[in-house]
Structure formats: structure tokens, C-alpha cells
């Protein structure tokens, strides 16, 4: 009985496929381990970026300018009597702030990127030079029914938000109407801004008030703005050739070439979810941010991780070629040999990521795939000792890696191409195996 099972297991095509299927699933374990290594390397890269950026300046989000005017309100505060269950009330005068946005805001300037290196990792930092100008209308408190005695016009402050103050390179001097004011660090209220600079400009009597100042600020990875103007116009240029425009608004016009990019935005107050003036922290503005990310064209970690997801296809198709060759050539391939071939396919991903960190993804892919194709082809030549089968295995591997490379390069169409490719593979498999007698032995074919 045991001998019969042993003979059946050795000769049965069905049993062979079952063993190979189990082996394929087992080989997904090292493939998933390689995927974890890729994720770990990506996390290390991100940590290096944060470390370098923290010493230069982090991503910058620029907000403003905004006029903040304090006003006084009397509040009733309840306090519990000591040792009693009763409360007493007292009146307290509290200072709060009203915030006014400009009716016109124009931002024009450039960002000069620079690549910094830490070990094998690259970090993009930049220096930006911006000119901001615009118009404020005279603040109007009438909509809130506040008395003139409540409003502290003399403490009117012009505020500008900068998320990472370490990036400021030069003193900031506000030009408001005909007067100049030197900006000081800090802001009087955190209702709208979390950090930034400000200057107290006092009472505003003009119906129309102009402002102008220049900003020289460092940052890393991205430069973003908040469209606080009733009409906000931003024109930005850079010699970075791989920009990624992000946020709530994309540029109305943009030009990207090998020499860099130019982009312009024109945003209206109607495009936002907050008005031109409000009290305290009624409206968050962060959701309207927009700008540009200075990225590298090829994210080797994301593409390497995506390539590992196709490991089961590579294993299945390569094993399928070998098992069909077994049937046609009447040559046995031991499960251990299948296992070694599977390991070689898995090592490709390890070679890809390790080489890509040093020489780039394209060259790494070429070298890693060439090494694996050569290794498996040479191994199959020793197994089958048939040039036709060896060439068939080599061709199959070349087509697989060309297919994978195409998918990695065409991110937007990767799902479509992958689905069509899988359908074609299944159709080809059904065609090639149509004459196999699944109930027969490895030495039989109808």
C-alpha cells in the first residue's frame, strides 16, 4: 500500500501540481520578509530626511498676512466656594481677537533646491525668495455689534505665519502704507496661526491700505501657502525638474521642463470655506493649503515594494514552464530543485533594492534581472540538457521581467496592464495544458 502511494506520488501529474502549489505558497514567506526589509529601509530613509530637515528647516507653510485687532469682553465666571456645594459668580474682562484678511494678495518668487546627502540617502532642501504685496480694507466691526470702547485699535497687529521659524534667513520688514515696521518673532493670538512674526502697526484710518515685504526663508521637501486674500495670486518658479503640485488647489498654469518649472495660481475667496473676517478661532484655514513638493522622480522603495507584490506570478509561471517541460521532455525535476529556483526568484528583489540604493532603480533592475535570468537558465540547462527548453525558460523570464518593469514605470496604468497580462497568462496556460491527462502519469500525454 505504501509502495503504491509512493509510486503514485512520484508519477502523478496532479500530485506534482499540488506539491508545486504548496511550495509556491511557502516561498511567499521569504518574499514577504523582503517586503518588510524594503519597508524598513524606507522608514530609515524617512528618518534621515526628518533629521536633515530638522537642522535646515522643515516643510514650510506660509499664511498671511493677517490683521489681528484685540477687543475686550466681559465674561461671567463661576467659581465653587471652598468646602461648599454652592457657586459664586464674578465678572472678568477678557481680551480676544478679531482677524481680518487682505482683499488682495500677490506672492511672487522662486525656490532654489539643493540635494543634501546623508550616507546613501538624498534629501531635498531649498531656499526661497518671495515678494508679498496686497491690500487691506479698513477693518469693519459693525457686523459684530461691538462698541468702540471695546475695540483696542491702537494694538492692531500685522501677523504672518511661518511654520518653521528656523528657516528665516533675513530680517523681515513690513511696509504698510507709507510706514516701515520691523517684524518681531511671535504672534499675539494663536486663533489662526501657530507660529510666525508680527508687527504692531496701530490704528488704521485709511479706507484702502497697502502692504509689501520680502521673505527669504529656507525649507525642505515642500513649500505651501494659504490663500488668505479675497483674491490670491501666486507665481512660483524653480530649477527643480520634478515638482509635484499638491494641496487643495492645482496651478491654473504650469510649465515643467528639464530646466525646472513655473507655476501660477489664482484663487478666490469663493473657493474657500472661510470668510474675510471672523472672531477668535471660528474658522480653520489649514484645509485650503496648496503648493509644491520637490520630490525625486523615482521613489525606489515604493516601486520595489510594488514589484514584490508580483512575486506569486513570477513563481507560478516559472514553475509552470518547468513542470510543462517535465511532461514534454520526460525529465524529472525534484521539489528541492523547484525550491532553489524559487529562492533565486526571491533573491531578485533583495538584489533590486540593495543595488537601487547605490546605482538607481533602472540599472539595478537590469543587473538583478540579468543575474537571476542567467542563473536559472544555466540551472535549467543542467537539469534538462536541452537547448530548446533552456531557451524557452530564458525567454519566459525575460518576458516576465520586461512585463514587471513596464508595470513599475506606468503607475497610473499598472492595474490595467497587470490585469490584461494576467488574463493573457491564464489563457496561455490553459492552451498549453489542454492536452495534459491530469489523471495520468508524468510519462503520459494525450
Structure confidence at residue 446 (pLDDT): 47
442 has pLDDT over 80: no
Query: pLDDT of 197-240, one tens digit each?
Result: 999 999 998 899 999 999 999 999 899 999 999 999 999 999 99
Which residues 6+ apart lie within 8 Å of 253 measured at CB? 263, 264
| Start-to-end C-alpha separation, the chain | 28
Same domain, 64 and 116: yes
Question: What does the buried/exposed string (b/e) look like for 177-209 if buried means 16 or more CB atoms within 10 Å of the residue's CB?
Answer: eeeebebeeebbbebbbeebbbbebeebeeeeb
Q: What is residue 39's predicted lDDT score, i.e. its pLDDT? A: 82
3-state secondary structure of 308: helix
Q: Which residue has the higher pLDDT, 1 or 121?
A: 121
214, β-bridge pairs: 131
Q: Give the pLDDT of residue 56.
A: 84
Given 282, 297, 312, the domain boundary residue is: 297
C-beta of residue 37 within 8 angstroms of C-beta of residue 353: yes
pLDDT band at 385 (very low <50, low <70, confident <90, very high): confident
167-176, 239-248, 253-262, 321-330, range with the lowest pLDDT: 321-330
Mean pLDDT value across residues 382-386 = 84
Same domain, 121 and 171: yes
Give domain status of residue 243, yes or no: yes
Q: H or E segment at 157?
A: strand 157-162
Q: Give the residue from 324, 164, 232, 82 showing the smallest Cα distance to 333.
A: 324
Do 243 and 272 fall into the same domain? yes
In this structure, the answer to whether residues 181 and 323 fall within a common structural domain is no
Q: Which residue has the cell 493677517?
A: 66
Q: Which of 5-19, 88-102, 106-120, 158-172 has the lowest mean pLDDT?
A: 5-19
Rounded Cα distance between 127 and 309, Å, is 39
Residue 446 in any domain: the answer is: no
pLDDT at 324: 77
> What number of helices (H) and strands (E) belong to the chain?
8, 17
Q: For 3-25, what is the mean pLDDT?
A: 71
* pLDDT at residue 285 in the model: 94
Find out whether 269 and 230 touch, Cβ atoms under 8 Å: yes
Phi and psi at residue 318, in whole multiples of 5°? Answer: -65, -45
Predicted pLDDT of residue 260 = 92
Helical spans, DSSP H, in 185-251:
none
Residue 49 or residue 275, greater confidence: 275
278 & 405 share domain: no
**Are residues 144 and 165 both part of a single domain?**
yes
pLDDT higher than threshold 70 for residue 412: no
- Strand ranges in 25-80 using DSSP code E only, listed in sequence order: 60-80
Euclidean distance between CA atoms 90 and 334, whole angstroms: 90
pLDDT of residue 194: 92
Q: What is the mean pLDDT of residues 87-96?
A: 80
In a domain, 21, yes or no: yes
Q: How confident is the model at residue 426 (pLDDT cuts 50, 70, 90)?
A: confident
pLDDT reported for residue 84:
64
The C-alpha atoms of residue 403 and residue 180 are separated, in whole angstroms, by: 63
Structural domain range at position 405: 2-46+301-432
Which residues, in sequence order, are CB contacts of 44 under 8 Å at separation 6+? 121
- Provide the domain count of the chain: 2
Alpha-carbon torsion angle 347, 349, 352, 353, nearest 10: -110
Asked whether residue 234 is assigned to any structural domain, the reply reads: yes
**Portion of the chain with pLDDT greater than 90, in percent:** 41
How would residue 387 be classed by pLDDT, with cut points 50, 70 and 90?
A: confident
Q: Is the pLDDT of residue 177 over 80?
A: yes
The Cα–Cα gap between 65 and 198 comes to 9
Of the candidates 353, 281, 348, which has an alpha carbon nearest to the alpha carbon of residue 315? 348
Q: What are phi and psi of 266, to 5 degrees?
A: -135, 110
pLDDT tens figures, 259-287? 899 999 999 999 999 999 999 999 999 99
Q: Residues 53-71: what's their mean pLDDT?
A: 91
Can you read off the three cell numbers belonging to residue 269? Answer: 475667496
Dihedral angle of Cα 337, 340, 342, 344, to the nearest 10 degrees: -140
Three-state SS at 174? strand
φ, ψ of residue 81 in degrees (nearest 5):
-65, 140
Please check the confidence at residue 32 and state whether its pLDDT lies above 60: yes
Same domain, 241 and 131: yes
Average the pLDDT over 136-143 and give the result. Answer: 91
Whether 263 is covered by a domain: the verdict is yes
Predicted pLDDT at 159:
96
Predicted confidence at residue 438, as pLDDT, reads 62
List Cα–Cα distances, 362 to 288, 305, 370, in angstroms. 37, 15, 12
Same domain (yes/no): 290, 352: no
Average pLDDT, the chain: 85
| H or E segment to which residue 373 belongs | helix 361-384
Do residues 192 and 229 both lie within one domain?
yes
- List the grid coordinates of 287: 484645509
Which DSSP category does 138 fall into? P
Count CB neighbours of 29 within 10 A: 9
For 101, 309, 361, 377, the CA distances from 365, given in Å and listed in that order, are: 52, 16, 6, 18
**What gap in Å lies between CA 289 and CA 222, rounded to an integer?**
12
Are 331 and 272 in the same domain? Answer: no
Rounded CA gap, 129 and 110, in Å? 6
For position 380, what pLDDT does the model report? 87
> Using CA atoms, how far apart are residues 312 and 310, in angstroms rounded to an integer?
6
In a domain, 95, yes or no: yes
| Final residue belonging to a domain, choices 297, 313, 340 | 297
242 domain residue, yes or no = yes
pLDDT at 115 (0 to 100)? 85
425 in a structural domain? yes
Q: What is the mean pLDDT of residues 63-85?
A: 82
How confident is residue 250, by pLDDT bands cut at 50, 70 and 90? very high
**Residue 10, pLDDT score:** 61
Confidence band (pLDDT; 50, 70, 90) for 8? low
Q: Indicate if the pLDDT at residue 30 is higher than 80.
A: yes
Task: Give the CA count within 13 Å in the CB-facing half-sphere of 135.
Answer: 8
Q: Considering only CA atoms, give the Rg of the chain.
A: 33
Is the pLDDT reported for residue 140 higher than 80? yes
Q: What local confidence, expressed as pLDDT, does residue 298 receive?
A: 60
Q: Which of 297, 332, 352 is the last residue of a domain?
A: 297
The three cell numbers of residue 263 are: 507655476
Residue 339 has pLDDT above 50, yes or no: yes
Q: For residues 315 and 344, state if they share a domain.
A: yes
Same domain, 79 and 206: yes
> Residue 48's pLDDT is what?
81
Amino acid at each position: 500500500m505504501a509502495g503504491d502511494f509512493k509510486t503514485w506520488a512520484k508519477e502523478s501529474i496532479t500530485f506534482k501540481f499540488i506539491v508545486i502549489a504548496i511550495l509556491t505558497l511557502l516561498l511567499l514567506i521569504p518574499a514577504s520578509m523582503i517586503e518588510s526589509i524594503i519597508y524598513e529601509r524606507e522608514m530609515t530613509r524617512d528618518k534621515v530626511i526628518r533629521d536633515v530637515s530638522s537642522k535646515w528647516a522643515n516643510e514650510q507653510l506660509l499664511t498671511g498676512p493677517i490683521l489681528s485687532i484685540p477687543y475686550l469682553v466681559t465674561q461671567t465666571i463661576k467659581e465653587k466656594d471652598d468646602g461648599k456645594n454652592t457657586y459664586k459668580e464674578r465678572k472678568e474682562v477678557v481680551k480676544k481677537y478679531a482677524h481680518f484678511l487682505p482683499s488682495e494678495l500677490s506672492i511672487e518668487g522662486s525656490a532654489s533646491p539643493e540635494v543634501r546627502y546623508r550616507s546613501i540617502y538624498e534629501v531635498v532642501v531649498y531656499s526661497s525668495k518671495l515678494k508679498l504685496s496686497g491690500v487691506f480694507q479698513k477693518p469693519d466691526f459693525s457686523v459684530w455689534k461691538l462698541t468702540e470702547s471695546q475695540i483696542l485699535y491702537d494694538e492692531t497687529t500685522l501677523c504672518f505665519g511661518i511654520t518653521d521659524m528656523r528657516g528665516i534667513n533675513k530680517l523681515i520688514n513690513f511696509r504698510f502704507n507709507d510706514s516701515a515696521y520691523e517684524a518681531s518673532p511671535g504672534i499675539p493670538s494663536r486663533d489662526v496661526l501657530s507660529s510666525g512674526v508680527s508687527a504692531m502697526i496701530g490704528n488704521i484710518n485709511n479706507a484702502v491700505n497697502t502692504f509689501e515685504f520680502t521673505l527669504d526663508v529656507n525649507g525642505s521637501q515642500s513649500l505651501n501657502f494659504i490663500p488668505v486674500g479675497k483674491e490670491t495670486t501666486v507665481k512660483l518658479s524653480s530649477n527643480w525638474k520634478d515638482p509635484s503640485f499638491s494641496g487643495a488647489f492645482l496651478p491654473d498654469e504650469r510649465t515643467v521642463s528639464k530646466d525646472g518649472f513655473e507655476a501660477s495660481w489664482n484663487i478666490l475667496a469663493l473657493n474657500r470655506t472661510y470668510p474675510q473676517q471672523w472672531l477668535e478661532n471660528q474658522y480653520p484655514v489649514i484645509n485650503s493649503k496648496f503648493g509644491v513638493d520637490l520630490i525625486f522622480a523615482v521613489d525606489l522603495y515604493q516601486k520595489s515594494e510594488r514589484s514584490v507584490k508580483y512575486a506569486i506570478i513570477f513563481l507560478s509561471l516559472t514553475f509552470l514552464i518547468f513542470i510543462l517541460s517535465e511532461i514534454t521532455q520526460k525529465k524529472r525535476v525534484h521539489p528541492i530543485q523547484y525550491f532553489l529556483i524559487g529562492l533565486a526568484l526571491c533573491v531578485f528583489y533583495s538584489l533590486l533594492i540593495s543595488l537601487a540604493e547605490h546605482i538607481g532603480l533602472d540599472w539595478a533592475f537590469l543587473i538583478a534581472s540579468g543575474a537571476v535570468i542567467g542563473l536559472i537558465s544555466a540551472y535549467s540547462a543542467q537539469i534538462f540538457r536541452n537547448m530548446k527548453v533552456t531557451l524557452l525558460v530564458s525567454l519566459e523570464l525575460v518576458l516576465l521581467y520586461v512585463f514587471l518593469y513596464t508595470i513599475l514605470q506606468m503607475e497610473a496604468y499598472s492595474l490595467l496592464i497587470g490585469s490584461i497580462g494576467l488574463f493573457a497568462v491564464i489563457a496561455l496556460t490553459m492552451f498549453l495544458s489542454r492536452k495534459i491527462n491530469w489523471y495520468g502519469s508524468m510519462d503520459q500525454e494525450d
